[in-house]
A and B are shown apart, each in its own frame.
Chain A
Amino acid sequence: MTKNSDVPLIKIIEAHQPWWRLNLADAYDKREICYVFAWRKISTLYKQKALGIVWGLIEPLALLIIMTAVFGYVMRLPTNGYPYPVYAFAGLMPWLLFSKATTSVSNSLMENMAVISKVYFPRLIIPVSSLAKDIFDSVMSMAVLLSLVVYYGFPLSAKYLLLPFFMGIPIFAALGIGLWVSAPMVRFRDLQHVVAICLQVGMYASPIIYSAKMVPENLLPYYTLNPMSWAIDGVRWIMLDQPLEFTISFYLSMALTLAVFISGLFIFSIFEKLSVDVQ
């Protein structure tokens, strides 16, 4: 496929570009670079490691064992009667995807400065492609979770068709936050620490190690504005058949996620142009 060999192609570089021009078509046009970046990240991740790809499983499993030991057996946190390992892991998996993805997207521009300052391509490709590794890890954890679910005797149902939607929430939320943060982070590396702290807070503000039932009734409408609480309880609804009621907070939190994502696109588009000059 040799394109534009006959059509005259004109590239204009100008001082001032309107802030609202996202050039998404340009990024879509160059999506092959996105695949290449994603593949580079995944294929280099496990090189020079004896256990290679298995580490993608060991990490969440270790976390699960620690959590089960501490919260399930020592502290005996109530789980509405569900076995603690499968209950916690169903919460942990969307959270890990969200937290790792937020970190990768936020750091993506900074980490790729060497490439960015030497060759031009639509920069949006960088944060988007940085998601690939975390999605890849998440798919592997999903296999572990499914075996746990089957082991504990929960049935597989048609609800599983909604799994991509609930797993899509952490991806979009992470991308939205990451887009806001990644370009300013090139200039202010301080943001790395801010993101890390916020993720710590977020972990305890989401029903991962405990059940949302433990949250005081009057706080629940605010608590459930957190899109991650919907992602987590959605996965539990699908896999463990834990009842789920879609309140007004659900729609608000989805709207919030979407708003962060769309505004993130603009913030990114404005600030990435400055990133090469301020690194």
Chain B
Amino acid sequence: MSSNSSDITVSVEGLGKKYWLPGHGSGRGGRVGLMGLHFKEYLSFLGKKRDEDYFWALKDMSFEVKRGEVLGILGMNGSGKSTLLKILSGVTMPSTGRATMHGRVGSLLEVGTGFHPDLTGRENVFLSGSLLGMSKAEIKSKFDEIVYFSGIEDFIDVPAKRYSSGMYVRLAYAVASNLDSDVLILDEVLAVGDAQFREKSRESMENASKQGKTILFVSHNISAVSQICTKGIVLSKGKLVHSGSIDEVVHYYKKDIHSIPTDIDSDSLLSPKQDLRGAPRHTNSPKDNQFITSVSLHQSDGQPTAYFKTGEDIRVRIGYNVGNEPYSYFTIFFLDQLGNRVMTVQSDHDLETLKVKGAGVIECVIPSNRLGSGEYILMLDYGRIKSTYVCLDCVPSAITVSISLGDYLNGRSTLEGQGFIAQKTNWIIK
């Protein structure tokens, strides 16, 4: 593709958005009391406006997207992703800068915008379609296609409140996916619906980009983003911190934002025991804390190993060295190769709080694990329960465990896309 400037469909220059938010960041309602804050918030025109009363949800953002590109927008909660999409879709105005978009812009910030539960599916298609910017004639001509895509032909004249949530979402997305716009803005749409439907919507997005539509796509789902998008940007605290090809961006996001080391070969962690003193820590954990000292994996008989079969017990022993912590917890996250959390086990699933003091070892027994074949990286988290979880030390990549299905499923294996979890079942014809 040539880098002709006419190919650029979305151009964002110096975009920023501030919110009037007195008392933010001060923790206890700021200098003024609660009552004062209430009046300050509601009668803001009376007092002097200070710079620190503003919160910049988005600051000085610039990027460009070319025709046919699918831009993935990554970032943690509160990084400004949704604010950016709201500005681009016109829902809210920017405080600084400008965005230029060429062609018809369609946005889907929520599945089922404008749907009314008392109206029938047919009526809702027209309602939602025209809200998203389609003309009545357009909806009419695409109606059959929309209903076919949704797969709920038999229920199209039933009030939407009688739909299952799946049907509701399918119909809503079917309307949006038939939106004939040049720029499509999507927020976390793949988070809804079952796997089959997600696959369907993923395909429709791919088709749309092949037809030359430009797509801006926000998701927390790293694997979805890396599958669909061609380019990406990473936002952090309202700023654009990285942009580039999607592989590069996903790599950056995992490494620097989520502290999932991508440069460390997960195979190098594949051993029964790891010394964690000096291992890289998660950005969320307080600096210089080294409370977690080691981790080791054991079979039910105590034999150390990194290789397990589905259905076997896994014993995870975590070595610690702490001060005096009467209300602590331990968490073990099982992450797949893309950083998705496959399983999370936590000490307070069993014991309310743990009393730990000095150096010691805690053992977590996972009886007959149900993980499917693959290698999983363990992320260890230790902290204090004080109405919320306060992280004190977190090792994002502590050790790798390798699981093979063995004969758990009667010697059969699960295929790709059949999930992470293996579950033995019994089938009887009655």
Contacts and interface: CB of A to CB of B under 8 A. Distances in A.
A44 B103 contact: no
Interface in B75-109: 86-105, 107, 109
B86 A276 contact: yes
B290 to A, nearest CB: 44
Contact of B103 (A9, A12, A118): A9
Contacts of A12: 98-101
A188 B42 CA distance: 8
B118 A15 contact: no
Contacts of B152: none
Interface in B275-310: none
Contacts of B94: 13-15
Nearest 7 pairs of A and B residues by beta carbon: A120-B90, A47-B118, A13-B99, A14-B98, A118-B110, A276-B92, A11-B101
A25 to B, nearest CB: 16
A273 interface: yes
B114 interface: yes
Interface string A145-171: 000000000000000000000000000
A119 B89 CA distance: 7
A219 interface: no
Given A32-B135, A120-B91, A4 B104 contact: yes
A54 to B, nearest CB: 18
A17 B109 contact: no
Contact of A277 (B19, B42, B88, B182): B19
Contact of A8 (B86, B98, B102, B133): B102
Contact of A40 (B16, B90, B127): B127
Nearest to B111: A118
B97 A15 contact: yes
A200 interface: no
B132 A119 contact: yes
A117 interface: yes
A121 interface: yes
**Chain B facing A: main interface SS:** mixed
Interface in B15-61: 16, 19-20, 42
B177 interface: no
B391 interface: no
A47 B19 CA distance: 40
A10 interface: yes
Given A15-B98, A277-B19, 14 more contacts: A8-B102, A9-B182, A10-B101, A12-B98, A13-B87, A13-B90, A14-B97, A40-B127, A43-B123, A44-B116, A115-B114, A119-B114, A273-B93, A277-B92
B63 to A, nearest CB: 14
A17 B91 CA distance: 15
Interface in A1-59: 1-4, 8-15, 17, 32-33, 36, 40, 43-44, 47-48
A188 B92 CA distance: 19
A9 B104 contact: yes
B93 A119 contact: no
B131 A276 contact: no
Contacts of B101: 10-13
A2 B119 contact: no
Chain A: number of interface residues, binned into ranges: 20 to 34
A187 B41 CA distance: 10
B321 interface: no
A187 B110 CA distance: 23
A33 B136 CA distance: 9
B178 interface: no
A116 interface: yes
A15 B113 CA distance: 26
Contacts of A2: 138
Contacts of B118: 44, 47-48
B399 to A, nearest CB: 44
B215 to A, nearest CB: 16
A17 B95 CA distance: 11
Interface string B2-20: 0000000000000010011
A48 B159 CA distance: 11
B274 interface: no
Nearest to B104: A9
A119 B113 contact: yes
Nearest to A14: B98
B95 A15 contact: yes
A117 B91 contact: yes
B102 A9 contact: yes
A15 B93 contact: yes
A34 to B, nearest CB: 10
Contacts of B16: 15
Contacts of B126: 36
B127 A36 contact: yes
Contacts of A32: 130, 135-136
A131 to B, nearest CB: 18
Interface in A100-125: 115-121
B429 interface: no
Given A118-B91, A119-B107, A277-B19, A10 B127 contact: no
A116 B99 CA distance: 20
Nearest to A47: B118
A10 B100 CA distance: 7
Contacts of B136: 32
Contacts of B428: none
A121 B132 CA distance: 8
B351 interface: no
Nearest to A8: B102
Nearest to B57: A277
Nearest to B101: A11
A118 B95 contact: no
A276 B102 contact: no
B137 interface: yes
A74 to B, nearest CB: 41
B104 A115 contact: no
B200 to A, nearest CB: 22
Contacts of B105: 11
A8 B103 CA distance: 6
17 contacts: A1-B138, A9-B102, A10-B102, A13-B90, A13-B101, A14-B97, A15-B98, A17-B93, A36-B127, A115-B114, A115-B131, A117-B92, A118-B109, A120-B107, A273-B93, A276-B86, A277-B20
Contacts of A43: 119, 123
Contact of A116 (B91, B127, B130): B91
Contacts of B138: 1-2
